[in-house]
Amino acid sequence: MTAPRTSKIPYGGDYNPEQWPEATWAEDHRLFTKAGIDTLTVGVFSWSLTQPDPGTYDFTTLDRVLDRAATHGRRVCLATGTAAVPPWLAKRHPEVNRTDFEGRRHRYGQRHNFCPASTAYRGAATALAARLAERYAGHPALLAWHINNEYGGACYCDLCADAFRAWLRARYETLDALNDAWWTTFWSHRYTDWDQIEPPSALTEHWRGPDHTAFQGITLDYHRFTTDALLGCFLGEKEAIRAHDPDTPVTTNLMGLYRPLDYHRWAPHLDFASWDNYPPPDAPPTRAALGHDLTRGLKDGAPFWLMEQTPSTTACRDVNPLRRPGELRLATWQAIAHGADAALYFQLRASRGACEKYHGAVVGHAGRDDTRVFQEVAELGRELSDLGATTLGARTPARTALLFDWDSWWALEISDGPSRPVRYPDVVHAYYRAAREAGADVDVVPVTADLTPYDVVLAPVLHLVKGDLAARLEALVRRGGSVLATFLTARCDEHDRAFPADVPGPLAPLMGIRIDEWDARPEDVVNPVRLGDLTAGARLVFEIVRPRGAEPVGTYGADFYAGTPAVTRHRVGAGEAWYVATALDQPGVDHVVRRVLARHDLVGPHADHAAVETAHRVTPDGTRLLFLLNHAPEPARLTAHATAEDLLTGRRTDRGEPLTLDPHGVAVLRLR
Ligand code: GLA
Ligand code: ZN
């Protein structure tokens, strides 16, 4: 199953009319019509209203909300509302409340506050989902199911401990296998009974915080278990929905680069992927793009939904900057350029009370339709209506893949040695950014993905190499492709046990190198790396590379390893295997990645315009679209590299003609 079929990009967002008197609702719909809003995400936090006590379901409000939406021709993305439990459930079944990493059993409060192993929670959540599906399957407004909200966090209670043990039994079958995987002979940990196993927390294996564990194998498995435990909650609700509604697509809103959950384990169970995009303030535009491409990669490149973004500001950060004029439009087109087939906001009308009253909304507390934000939202609504179905279902024709792996993320960041400051998303983003700014479309995919469609595969800090990946990478190189791996790649197996072999383990033959030693230095120590005409800065980790067939491409400039290779290339079959042995600065990463891409003619025509982002999509009927996004507050002057028509203005440009983008401007070119 795929995303819901629509005739245009669904446009709208989270709508909580239950917070206002019904008199406001008519005005809401007037404003929605004015803003081109056709899709409402409803019910995300209405459990306590829909089920005020264990024995009572009251659908009065939801009935009215959905019926009114239908009257106005709007569609509803209907949430099951199980992310924030009602007070009565927590009071009646205290075990529903989570136990935190420090072992404190919480009392009622906040949201995302349930223990995933609690049968009281699961039973109540599933029953609610079933009742909702029974009632609203077939409702004319229903467009999609939205289960729960931003699943996340972990619980360390006794129920979870039992569930963890059961999960481990299923995974390992015998204690011998588990002892072997976790390397328990170290520090006298050999388990002789499943009951001896404890969740890794501040009370057990951890000594400074969640990233400091005595046993990486145990902590890794707890991350996997938590992923599966929350997925179990999702699946329980999905099954309950399916019993009444076999057809309507089901999703949950993910969070992109969210460390606690391995979304690749979730992906097969989502009918379509969706995510909430709140890029860190001041992050380069490639940071949001990485989230989009990661989300698109969950479902083999199928379009996803942008389930939330703020129209103006967030509220949860210490400082919450405003989106500048034009930035919302640009961010929305960026999402579409990367494969979004829906553009939704959090939120349509601002909450009057509690912690999100300062969060941006399409309609503020004063209810005006003449604010700058409302007008920008409405302008975008008109643009998306004019665009119609053109981009729906279009896929990204990427020839570059970046391998993204939650296991490696976890393993790297819970590792004692060699360097705590190495952060997985930062290194991944540096390589992603280099490829994107060079103009390459990039699929961000799991290590199990089919690599045959790609010419270039980037494997930054892929700490764990699992399954047959090494063989598949070698096959890609032999047939002419390029593989790039970096420092701290291929160090360990799936249990975070070091390979009993030369570094980089199963990739050593392909890379044509051997590494015996590595040096980690404080963040302010820079070793200059010569790369052709460029001298790049390198930091954090310096692996000392002994070529075994590879040729040096860049060399360290300082310390006792000065003159030894920091970047190597190994020709194997018809292709090349590149290894970057240190954390190069962005110019250094750019240099290396562009050389790799250039071999496959993958450096785009606008790669010299730092602020101009390009992205391609190919529609189901074969139309090729090129999105041009100007991230600078000044105009960008380009030269058209192909004859094309801009779908937003109708303007035609011939190859070689000047093409100017406004400040923060966008063009959606239909290529001839
Ligand atoms: C998340 C949640 C929303 C809301 C927004 C605020 O994405 O899903 O309920 O809290 O953040 O930014
Ligand atoms: Zn628990």
If you write DSSP's letter for every residue of 385-419 in order, what string do you get? HHHTTTTTT-B----EEEE--HHHHHHHHT--SS-
276 lines ligand 1 (CB under 6 A): yes
Residues 122 and 65 in one domain: yes
Compute the Cα dihedral for 163, 168, 171, 175 and give only its sign.
Answer: negative
Q: Determine the atom of ligand 1 nearest the C-alpha atom of 255.
A: 7
If you write DSSP's letter for every residue of 59-87 in order, what string do you get? -HHHHHHHHHHHHTT-EEEEE---SS--H
Final residue in a domain of this structure, among 178, 194, 220: 220
314 lines ligand 1 (CB under 6 A): yes
pLDDT reported for residue 1: 87
Chain center to CA of 200: 26
How many A from CA of 86 to the centre of ligand 1?
18
Specify the residue with its C-alpha closest to ligand 1, atom 7: 276
One-letter amino acid at 542 equals F
How many A from CA of 10 to the centre of ligand 2?
37
pLDDT band of residue 25 (cuts 50, 70, 90) is very high
pLDDT reported for residue 302: 98
146 lines ligand 1 (CB under 6 A): no
How many A from CA of 433 to the centre of ligand 2?
38
> Using CA atoms, how far apart are residues 404 and 58, in angstroms rounded to an integer?
44
Specify the residue with its C-alpha closest to ligand 1, atom 5: 346
Cα end-to-end span (Å), the chain: 32
Q: Which domain holds residue 659?
A: 612-671
308 lines ligand 1 (CB under 6 A): yes
Segment 606-622 shows an average pLDDT of 97
pLDDT band of residue 274 (cuts 50, 70, 90) is very high
Segment 107-117 shows an average pLDDT of 96
Final residue in a domain of this structure, among 572, 598, 624: 598
Q: Is the model's pLDDT at 46 over the cut of 90?
A: yes
> Using CA atoms, how far apart are residues 668 and 220, in angstroms rounded to an integer?
43
Q: Is the model's pLDDT at 461 over the cut of 90?
A: yes
Yes or no: say if 523 and 551 are a contact pair by the CB < 8 Å rule. no
> Using CA atoms, how far apart are residues 408 and 487, in angstroms rounded to an integer?
13
Q: What is the CATH number of the domain that holds 318?
A: 3.20.20.80
pLDDT digits (tens, 9 = 90+) for 520-530: 999 999 999 99
For residue 548, count CB atoms less than 10 angstroms from its CB and return exposed for 0-12, middle for 13-18, buried for 19 or more: middle
346 lines ligand 1 (CB under 6 A): yes
579 lines ligand 1 (CB under 6 A): no
Q: Does 494 map to a domain?
A: yes
Q: Which ligand is nearest the CA of 253, by number?
A: 1
Residues 192 and 281 in one domain: no
pLDDT reported for residue 251: 98
* Helix (H) or strand (E) segment spanning residue 49: helix 47-50
How many A from CA of 269 to the centre of ligand 1?
23
Residue 178, φ and ψ in degrees, nearest 5:
-65, -45
Residues 20 and 137 in one domain: yes
Yes or no: say if 170 and 141 are a contact pair by the CB < 8 Å rule. no
pLDDT band of residue 468 (cuts 50, 70, 90) is very high
Q: Which ligand is nearest the CA of 252, by number?
A: 1
If you write DSSP's letter for every residue of 270-316 in order, what string do you get? -SS-EEE--PPTT--HHHHHHHHHHHHHHTTT--EEEEE--SS--SS
Q: Does 393 map to a domain?
A: no
Q: Determine the atom of ligand 1 nearest the C-alpha atom of 310.
A: 12
If you write DSSP's letter for every residue of 174-195 in order, what string do you get? SHHHHHHHHTTTGGG---SSGG
For residue 162, count CB atoms less than 10 angstroms from its CB and return exposed for 0-12, middle for 13-18, buried for 19 or more: middle
Q: Does 572 map to a domain?
A: yes
CA of 600: how far to CAs of 147, 399, 435, 595, in Å? 42, 9, 12, 9
Residues 659 and 587 in one domain: no
Q: To test the ligand 1 pocket, which listed residue (16, 276, 349) has its Cβ within 8 A of the most ligand atoms?
A: 276
Q: Does 604 map to a domain?
A: no
Cβ density class 50-69: b for 16+ within 10 Å, e for less: bbeeeeeeebebbeebbebb
150 lines ligand 1 (CB under 6 A): yes
* Structure-token pair, residue 537: 């800065």
Residues 253 and 113 in one domain: yes
Chain center to CA of 630: 23
Q: Which ligand is nearest the CA of 148, by number?
A: 1
149 lines ligand 1 (CB under 6 A): yes
Q: What is the CATH number of the domain that holds 494?
A: 3.40.50.880
Q: To test the ligand 1 pocket, which listed residue (149, 314, 346) has its Cβ within 8 A of the most ligand atoms?
A: 346
Catalytic sites, residue numbers? 150, 308
* Structure-token pair, residue 591: 């240099």
Residues 148 and 168 in one domain: no
463 lines ligand 1 (CB under 6 A): no
pLDDT reported for residue 281: 85
> Using CA atoms, how far apart are residues 671 and 650, in angstroms rounded to an integer?
13
> Using CA atoms, how far apart are residues 100 and 84, in angstroms rounded to an integer?
17
Question: Strands, DSSP E only, in 21-152?
Answer: 39-42, 75-79, 142-146
Q: Does 119 map to a domain?
A: yes
Segment 234-245 shows an average pLDDT of 98
Residue 30: name the closest of 349, 292, 295, 384 by CA.
349
pLDDT reported for residue 440: 98
Residues 431 and 566 in one domain: yes
User: For residue 494, what is the DSSP state?
Assistant: T
Q: Does 394 map to a domain?
A: no
Residues 473 and 458 in one domain: yes
Which residues keep their CB under 5 angstroms from ion ligand 2?
A: 115, 117, 155, 157, 159-160
Q: Is the model's pLDDT at 14 over the cut of 90?
A: yes
Q: Which ligand is nearest the CA of 119, by number?
A: 2
Rounded mean pLDDT of the chain?
A: 98
Whole-prediction pTM value?
0.98
One-letter amino acid at 321 equals P
Q: Is the model's pLDDT at 117 over the cut of 90?
A: yes
Residue 183: name the closest of 541, 406, 494 by CA.
494
Q: Does 316 map to a domain?
A: yes
pLDDT reported for residue 128: 98
pLDDT reported for residue 672: 87
Yes or no: say if 671 and 626 are a contact pair by the CB < 8 Å rule. yes
Residue 272: name the closest of 6, 529, 507, 480 by CA.
6
pLDDT reported for residue 73: 98
Per DSSP bridges, beta strands 304-308 and 274-276 are parallel
148 lines ligand 1 (CB under 6 A): no
Q: What is the CATH number of the domain that holds 622?
A: 2.60.40.1180
Q: Determine the atom of ligand 1 nearest the C-alpha atom of 44.
A: 9
Segment 35-40 shows an average pLDDT of 98
How many A from CA of 115 to the centre of ligand 2?
4
Cβ density class 432-450: b for 16+ within 10 Å, e for less: bbbbbbbbbbbbbbbbebe
Contacts 24+ apart (CB under 8 A), 221-226: 221/164, 221/167, 221/168, 221/171, 221/182, 222/154, 222/164, 223/260, 223/262, 223/406, 223/410, 224/262, 224/265, 224/407, 225/163, 225/164, 225/167, 225/168, 226/116, 226/154, 226/155, 226/260, 226/261
Q: Is the model's pLDDT at 109 over the cut of 90?
A: yes
- Per the DSSP assignment, residues forming a β-bridge with 614 are 628
Residue 112: name the closest of 201, 230, 5, 219 by CA.
230
> Using CA atoms, how far apart are residues 38 and 7, in angstroms rounded to an integer?
11
Residues 205 and 246 in one domain: no
pLDDT band of residue 536 (cuts 50, 70, 90) is very high
Residue 445: name the closest of 398, 397, 402 by CA.
402
Q: To test the ligand 1 pocket, which listed residue (16, 150, 313) has its Cβ within 8 A of the most ligand atoms?
A: 150
Final residue in a domain of this structure, among 317, 352, 387: 387
CA of 95: how far to CAs of 19, 113, 116, in Å? 29, 11, 10
Q: Provide the CB-side half-sphere exposure for 111 (13 A, CA).
A: 16
How many A from CA of 122 to the centre of ligand 1?
23
pLDDT digits (tens, 9 = 90+) for 167-212: 999 999 999 999 999 999 999 999 999 999 999 999 999 999 999 9
pLDDT digits (tens, 9 = 90+) for 53-90: 999 999 999 999 999 999 999 999 999 999 999 999 99
Q: Is the model's pLDDT at 669 over the cut of 90?
A: yes
Q: Does 6 map to a domain?
A: no
Q: Which ligand is nearest the CA of 361, by number?
A: 1
* Structure-token pair, residue 316: 């949860």
Residues 58 and 142 in one domain: yes
Residues 170 and 279 in one domain: no
Q: Is the model's pLDDT at 568 over the cut of 90?
A: yes
Residues 322 and 247 in one domain: yes
Residue 617, φ and ψ in degrees, nearest 5:
-140, 150
Q: Is the model's pLDDT at 634 over the cut of 90?
A: yes
359 lines ligand 1 (CB under 6 A): yes
Q: Is the model's pLDDT at 252 over the cut of 90?
A: yes
pLDDT band of residue 623 (cuts 50, 70, 90) is very high
How many A from CA of 2 to the centre of ligand 2?
33
The total of structural domains in the chain comes to 4
